[in-house]
């Protein structure tokens, strides 16, 4: 089991640039989640998908943030334009929905620094 795979592990970019974070969920998992972690706010849910369909994006901070899931094995989180306050660790997680005892499995995150 390869686990949830995120790329890149680290991203450093300048304010105003577009940033794209990528995630490959665990094979067979049909729910995918994007979280953001900062020292100020802890772990926050941004958006989640079920069967590739966005279910709840109420955690997405602004219109500068967008997420897509074109197929069951790939999702992207895009920030355009990026700002310094977007600096955080972004986690992707997946699970198998429909099973009560199916916990979230997290990737190792993308550490984003916007200068």
Partner 1 sequence: GESVGLHLPTLSVQEGDNSIINCAYSNSASDYFIWYKQESGKGPQFIIDIRSNMDKRQGQRVTVLLNKTVKHLSLQIAATQPGDSAVYFCAENRGSNAGGTSYGKLTFGQGTILTVHP
Q: Confirm or reject binding of residue 95 to partner 1 (CB under 8 A).
A: yes
Please, which of residues 48-77 interact with partner 1 by CB under 8 A? 48, 50, 55-56
Residue 31's CB is within 10 A of a number of other CB atoms, namely 19
Name the CA dihedral angle for 1, 36, 96, 104, rounded to a multiple of 10 degrees.
Answer: 70
Between residues 82 and 110, which has the closer beta carbon with respect to partner 1? 110
Q: Confirm or reject binding of residue 25 to partner 1 (CB under 8 A).
A: no
Smallest gap from Cβ 74 to partner 1, in A, equals: 18
Q: Confirm or reject binding of residue 40 to partner 1 (CB under 8 A).
A: yes
> Phi/psi at 86 (nearest 5 deg)?
-80, -5
Distance CA(68)–CA(65), nearest Å, equals 10
Smallest gap from Cβ 91 to partner 1, in A, equals: 5
Q: Please report the beta strands in the chain, taking only residues with DSSP state E, as ranges in sequence order.
A: 5-7, 10-13, 19-24, 31-38, 42-50, 53-56, 65-71, 74-79, 88-95, 105-106, 110-114
Looking at 24, 25, 26, 31, which residue binds partner 1 (CB under 8 A)? 31
| Interface positions with partner 1 (CB under 8 A) | 4, 31, 33, 39-43, 45, 48, 50, 55-56, 91, 93, 95, 97-109
């Amino acid at each position: 089991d390869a686990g949830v795979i995120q790329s890149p592990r680290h991203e450093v970019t300048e304010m105003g640039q577009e940033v794209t974070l990528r995630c490959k969920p665990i094979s067979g998992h049909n729910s995918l989640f994007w979280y953001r972690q900062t020292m100020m706010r802890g772990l926050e849910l941004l958006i989640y998908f079920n069967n590739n369909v966005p279910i709840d994006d109420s955690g997405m901070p602004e219109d500068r943030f967008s997420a897509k899931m074109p197929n069951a094995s790939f999702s992207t989180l895009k920030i355009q334009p990026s700002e310094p306050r977007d600096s955080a660790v972004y986690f992707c997680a997946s699970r198998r929905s429909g099973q009560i005892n199916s916990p979230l499995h997290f990737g190792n995150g993308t550490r984003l620094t916007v200068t």
